[in-house]
Amino acid sequence: MSFATLGLAPALLRAVREQGYHAPTAVQTAALPPALAGSDVLALAQTGSGKTAAFALPLLQRLVASPPRPGPRALVLAPTRELAMQTAQLLRDLAALLMQRPKIALAFGGVSINPQLMALRGGCDVMVATPGRLLDLLDHNGLTLAGVQCLVLDEADRLLGLGFADELQRVIAQLPARRQNLLFSATFAPAVESLAAELLHEPVRIEIDEAPPQITQRAIQLDRAQRLPALRQLLAEQGWDRCLVFVASRYTAELVSDKLFAHGFKAGVLHGELSQGARRDVLEALKAGSVKVLVATDVAARGLHVEALDAVVNYELPRSAADYTHRIGRTGRAGATGVAVSFICADSAENAESHFRLIEKRQGQRVPRERLAGFEPQAIATEAEATGGIKSTTRKSKKDKLREAATRAGG
């Protein structure tokens, strides 16, 4: 299958070539024809499947064919600023070769609203926004949604989750009834289905039975105190060019990145308390290769895409199985292979072994436990414990070790 046979206009065909896309991904192959024809689409698509282009291309192609209006003609809603930024960037890149280049506006919270209001002064053709900030802009009369012909909900399952659902409904209430709706979601959970039923008109439903991404999962048992030296060894041995290390808090993110940096690694840090500029800079540095190890909290887990990320390390386990899936999904993207390493610490406060077992259960996959030579844990949760069997501890006391050594020495 080629992009040309899917009905893309010549300027967009050139644009996808410039992006380095040689052939459409499965979701693009399925979504492009109905979306170009103006149908509503409900697509099951994860970040990494090429979903952004699956809605961006038809959106742009239909936009250039419709007469200009004062307000945006297309509205793309995304749950996070990172995702909104990446989507706006792809839209701008793809639109760069169009004869009448549409104006793509971007808005998200956590930064001053004034520059965003200023940017909307001359109007825009496409608005990419997080829902809360879009409502703020509407309250400030920064724009009107009366001319929207196409609505995209990116990561609709998240937009429907806690904290967004009300805002989403308020935005939808301001849209004209006649419009195209493109809804992309990582799941077809009941909430998504019921929104889809309310929102979409005879949608084309796309569910791709794609081969799972090529991610090798590893689970390494070790003691908490060994995590940093073990990570350093992995980084040194594995030759990963770009790697994301996930931790649970801003404090640990700073600490681990500082320690790696002090040991000569090109380490950077990404967490929610950094300024927008600092976040952008570190992501750019990762892309450019001046940062090779990015230590991040879950802020970075969603939406973020960095080409050719070789590995994800769960230095600390995520809270939920869903977060685990999102974290490891940062690697092995768009056909590339990747590795996801999780540190399982038997001496952690929260029982890491049973927590990881839950994660395995949720994703229906067992990851063999390993130990790294030189970093064997002193406190090991045995396989019997791991499978919920009899409790046994293999931790040896100092005395036991001395006794064993004496026996060995004594022959």
Give the binding range for ligand AMP (CB under 6 A) out of 50-58, 91-99, 193-201, 290-298: 50-58
Q: Does the protein bind ligand AMP through residue 52 (CB under 6 A)? A: yes
Q: How far is the CB of 345 from ligand AMP (least distance, A)?
A: 32
Asked if 338 is part of the footprint of ligand AMP (rule: CB under 6 A), the reply reads no
CA 2 distance to own-chain centroid: 27
Contact segment (CB under 6 A) with ligand AMP among 49-57, 246-254, 386-394, 395-403 equals 49-57
Radius of gyration of the chain (CA): 24
Cβ closer to ligand AMP: 307 or 370?
307
Q: How many residues bind ligand AMP (CB under 6 A)?
A: 15
Hunting for tokens 């993110």 — which residue is that? 253
Which one of 6, 24, 91, 107 is in contact with ligand AMP (CB under 6 A)? 24
Q: Which stretch binds ligand AMP (CB under 6 A): 21-29, 117-125, 244-252, 272-280?
A: 21-29
Stretch that binds ligand AMP, among 46-54, 72-80, 92-100, 355-363 (CB under 6 A): 46-54
The CB-of-21 to ligand AMP minimum distance in angstroms stands at 3
Find the shortest distance in angstroms from Cβ 199 to ligand AMP. 22
The yes or no reply on residue 217 touching ligand AMP (CB under 6 A) is no
Could you tell me the end-to-end alpha-carbon distance of the chain, in angstroms, rounded to an integer? 71
Residues of this chain, 236-275, that bind ligand AMP according to CB under 6 A: none
Assign 153 to helix, strand or coil.
Answer: strand
Shortest distance in whole angstroms from residue 308 CB to ligand AMP:
9
Question: How many residues appear in the chain?
Answer: 411
Q: Measured from the CB atom, is 222 or 340 closer to ligand AMP?
A: 340
> Which residue, 116, 110, 133, is CA-closest to 274?
110
DSSP E strands: which ranges in 79-229? 104-107, 126-129, 150-153, 180-185, 204-207, 214-221
For the window 296-335, what string marks contact with ligand AMP as x by the rule CB under 6 A? Answer: ---------x-x-------------------------xx-
List 11, 14, 21, 161, residue binding ligand AMP (CB under 6 A): 21
Contact region for ligand AMP (CB under 6 A) — 47-55, 120-128, 165-173, 322-330? Answer: 47-55
Task: Establish if 14 lies at the interface with ligand AMP (CB under 6 A).
Answer: no
How many Cα atoms occupy the beta-carbon half-sphere of 348 within 13 Å? 21
- Is residue 50 within the footprint of ligand AMP (CB under 6 A)? yes
Distance CA 127, CA 105 (A): 5
What is the closest distance, in whole angstroms, from the C-beta atom of residue 42 to ligand AMP in the complex? 17
Long-range contacts of 170-178 (CB under 8 A, 24+ apart): 170/131, 170/135, 171/75, 171/77, 171/131, 171/134, 171/135, 171/138, 171/145, 172/199, 174/138, 174/144, 174/145, 174/146, 175/75, 175/145, 175/148, 175/151, 176/145, 176/146, 176/147, 176/148, 176/149
What is the per-residue DSSP string for 196-243?
A: HHHH-SSPEEEE--PPPPEEEEEEEE--GGGHHHHHHHHHHHH--SSE
Report which DSSP code applies to 5. G
3-class secondary-structure state, position 190: helix
Q: In one letter, which amino acid is 297?
A: T
Q: Which of 49, 61, 252, 331 binds ligand AMP (CB under 6 A)?
A: 49
Shortest separation between residue 307's beta carbon and ligand AMP, angstroms: 5
Binding site for ligand AMP (CB under 6 A): 21, 24-25, 28, 47-53, 305, 307, 333-334
